[in-house]
Amino acid sequence: MRRKRWYFPYSMVVPSLLAAVLFIPFGMNLLGHALYGERYFPPLIKMKLPADSSAISLPEEINRSVPFEMVLHVDTKELAQRMNDIANESLPGMAPQGVHGQVFPEMRAELTGSTFTIDPPEPQAQLFSNRDETHWSWTVTPEREGHRQLSVQLYLQTTETTAEQPKVVNLAEIQVFVKKGVLSWLWTYGIWVGTFILLVAGWWWVKRPLGKYKHRYKSHK
C-alpha cells in the first residue's frame, strides 16, 4: 500500500516566510514581556505628613491615555494641629520637612507627575465639603505605561511665611502601574498585523491574474 505524500504548495512559500518574519519577533517580544516584564500592582500611597492614606482616592486600574479622577479629602484644621503638635515636641530644626512657625489651616494643593497630563496643573485653593473637610480633585491622563509616580504637595501658610511665598511640603507620593490601553496596543501591535495583511493581500492580488492566465491557457490547449 502506497503512502500518501504531502506536498507543500510552492505558492504558499512567500506567505509563510512573511508570516515568520513578522510574527516570530512579535511572539518573542510578547513572551518576553509575559515572563520578565513589569508586574501590575494597585496604587501604593506613602504619606509624608501626619495624615491617613485613605484621604487620597483613585482607581485601582489605570490605563495609558485613559483619563481618571483623583480626589483628596483632608481636614486641614486637624492636619495643621497635628503638625503644630509635632513641631512643638521636636528639637530645634527637627520639625517635619523644615516647617517653622505655627501652621494655619488655609492650604493649597498641587498634583505633579512628569509622565501625566494633569488638569488643573497649578496649585488649587481649598473647597470645603459637607464634613468640614477640604476637597481637591484632578483629572489625570497617563502618557506612558509602566511604573510611574505622582506627588501631592501642599502650600502652607505659617507665622513665618507670606501669601506670595508659602511653605511647600510633600504630602504624599503615589506609586502606580499604568497598563497599556487599547490605543497603545493598536499602535504597538496593530502595525504588525496591518503590515502582514497588506503584504498577503498584495501577494494575492499579484498572483491572482497569473492563476487566471494559466487556467485559460490550459483550457484553450
pLDDT in tens, 28-76: 655 555 544 456 678 999 999 999 999 999 999 999 889 999 999 999 9
Average of per-residue pLDDT across 131-144 = 87
Looking up residue 149, the CATH number of its domain turns out to be 2.60.40.10
Instruction: Output the nine-digit C-alpha cell for 213.
Output: 492566465
Is residue 191 a part of any domain in this protein?
Answer: no
Is residue 198 a part of any domain in this protein?
Answer: no
Share of the chain above pLDDT 70, in %: 61
Share of the chain above pLDDT 90, in %: 43
Average of per-residue pLDDT across 115-144 = 86
Is residue 208 a part of any domain in this protein?
Answer: no
Is 70 exceeded by the pLDDT of residue 138? yes
pLDDT band at 108 (very low <50, low <70, confident <90, very high): very high
147 bridge partner residues: 177
Is residue 192 a part of any domain in this protein?
Answer: no
pLDDT band at 217 (very low <50, low <70, confident <90, very high): very low
Q: What is the C-alpha to C-alpha distance for residues 90 and 113, in angstroms, rounded to an integer?
A: 32
Q: Identify the residue whose cell numbers are 487620597.
A: 56
Domain extent at residue 76? 44-182
Tell me whether residue 13 is exposed, middle or buried, using C-beta atoms within 10 angstroms of its C-beta: 0 to 12, 13 to 18, 19 or more.
exposed
2-6, 98-102, 138-142: least confidently modelled range = 2-6
- State residue 47's pLDDT score: 94
Overall number of domains in the chain: 1
Is residue 214 a part of any domain in this protein?
Answer: no
Is residue 199 a part of any domain in this protein?
Answer: no
Is residue 142 a part of any domain in this protein?
Answer: yes
Average of per-residue pLDDT across 142-154 = 93
- State residue 42's pLDDT score: 87
Is residue 152 a part of any domain in this protein?
Answer: yes
Q: State pTM to two decimals.
A: 0.67
- State residue 189's pLDDT score: 58
